[in-house]
């Protein structure tokens, strides 16, 4: 599946919900650690004040356009 565990980090920034996906070596990731990693990985968020940080571990690979329901009849 994945080389490293992947996580979706969701947070509120400027009253707007946002999320980022990142890989990390550990199997779990605390919200405080996730916030620090997001700020380190994404330069545009370096000095940002985030609230309501939540972490979800991805267990499936990205499905992209292969998801049923994305197809149209010819």
Q: Which DSSP letter does residue 47 get?
A: T
Examine residue 46 and state whether it is found in any structural domain, yes or no: yes
Which band of pLDDT confidence, cut at 50, 70 and 90, is reported for residue 1?
very low
Structural domain of residue 20, as residue ranges? 6-58
In a domain, 38, yes or no: yes
Q: Count of CB atoms within 10 A of residue 30's CB?
A: 11
- 13 in a structural domain: yes
E strand intervals along 3-71: 6-13, 16-23, 51-58
Asked whether residue 69 is assigned to any structural domain, the reply reads no
Task: Tell whether 63 is covered by a domain.
Answer: no
> What percent of the chain is modeled with pLDDT above 70?
78
pLDDT tens figures, 20-37: 999 888 888 999 999 999
Indicate whether 71 belongs to any domain: no
The domain total for the chain is: 1
Question: H-type helices in 1-74, by residue range?
Answer: 31-41
This prediction's pTM: 0.72
User: Rounded to whole angstroms, how far apart are CA atoms 72 and 27?
Assistant: 38
């Amino acid at each position: 599946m994945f080389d490293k565990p992947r996580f979706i980090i969701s947070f509120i920034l400027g009253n707007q919900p946002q999320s980022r996906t990142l890989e990390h070596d550990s199997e779990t990731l605390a919200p405080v650690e996730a916030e620090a990693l997001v700020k380190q990985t994404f330069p545009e968020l370096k000095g940002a004040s985030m609230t309501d940080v939540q972490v979800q571990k991805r267990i499936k690979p990205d499905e992209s356009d292969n998801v049923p329901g994305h197809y149209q009849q010819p």
